[in-house]
Amino acid sequence: MKNKKVLLGMSGGVDSSVAALLLQEQGYEVIGCTLELFAGSSCCNTETYLDAKNVCNQIGIPHFIYDCKKEFERYVIDNFIEVYASCKTPNPCIECNKYMKFGLMWEKAQELGCDFMATGHYAKTEFSTEYQKWVLKKSNNEKKDQSYVLWSMPKELVEHMLFPLADFESKEEIRQMARKRNLKVANKPDSEDICFVPDGNYKKFLESHSEMKPQEGNIVNANGEVLGQHKGLYYYTIGQRKGLGIAHQTPLFVLGFNREKNEVIVGEEQELYTKEALVEEFNLLLVDEILEPMEVDVKTRYSTKAARAKIVQEKNYIRVIFEEPQRAITPGQSAVFYQGDVVLGGGKFTQNSQKGNIL
């Protein structure tokens, strides 16, 4: 029988603080844990460490800080730079969850004798009688649901993960609970940006942490006609309209890149839509492999609604065939597959399978 000892990831924010309270109320022996990832980031600074430690002291649980800066640089920062250098658009939260939380933090949990690990994510795990296994599901709070960023979780970890905030309908409910217990973080604002780029200027970050420097080149249409000049390929992303500096009779959008010629390819909005895409580096939680075509809902970005599609596994790729054309499928971003509210799995978009985004 499993013990009720749980390692909780704490960022110093209200979500993870209330998660600690809820786990305590449910009878778990809670240990607070803060990962030191990137000095000076929005989630790794003296204030966040103190906030987490003070909450733990207030509710009477131990708190540990683990220095994971080298690992974070290797798995998250280096990937962030590499993906942009490859003319793709990264999602560093996916890498952080995969390597830091589901990797290093789970190792710490096992070292401390914990059978469970918890975070303040808005998601849910439960045993499914339909699938006869533990599954990862959407939270009740559809607007705040974060199951999209959890697809990289190892399937054997699902039954060991706890998400205490799964059943909350609103953030205000969570803040009210924190106020009721006099937690100082009750009104602390949410952190929305990439934690290691708190000012939002990812271009400056890339240039100061890598060899990447602006290299001007041509902006062209699909026929190769030169329409303008760009500042550097990593200044642009698929679907971007603003900042092109081109006078044209119809609005133009970034469709893709030609790395060899250092060109940004643009076109009209209808050219952004596609019915097929390929997904690589996938992780399947519900099945071991996709043996025959499956009907699923696919989220192409965190903030978009899921789209109906058929998925087919082809060796190292999953082909996604949408019922309706989807706008601005972006290499490097995640595709997450759902069966109802259950996460089937996910992966990363590679080149568009009808017309390559990256040539």
Catalytic residue numbers read 96, 195
Counting beta carbons within 10 angstroms of the beta carbon of residue 171, is it exposed (0 to 12), middle (13 to 18) or buried (19 or more)? Answer: middle
Residue 116 parent element (H or E): strand 116-118
Tokens 């080298």 correspond to what residue? 70
- Alpha helix ranges (H) inside the chain: 14-25, 46-59, 69-72, 78-85, 92-95, 106-111, 171-180, 202-209
Long-range contacts (CB closer than 8 Å, 24 or more residues apart) made by 271-274: 271/222, 272/238, 272/239, 272/327, 272/328, 273/325, 273/326, 273/327, 274/322, 274/325, 274/326, 274/329, 274/352, 274/354, 274/355
Q: Residues 195, 37: contact at Cβ < 8 Å? A: yes
Distance CA(114)–CA(117), nearest Å, equals 7
Look up residue 187 and give its DSSP letter.
T
Amino acid residing at 307: A
Which tokens is 106 given?
A: 């789970």
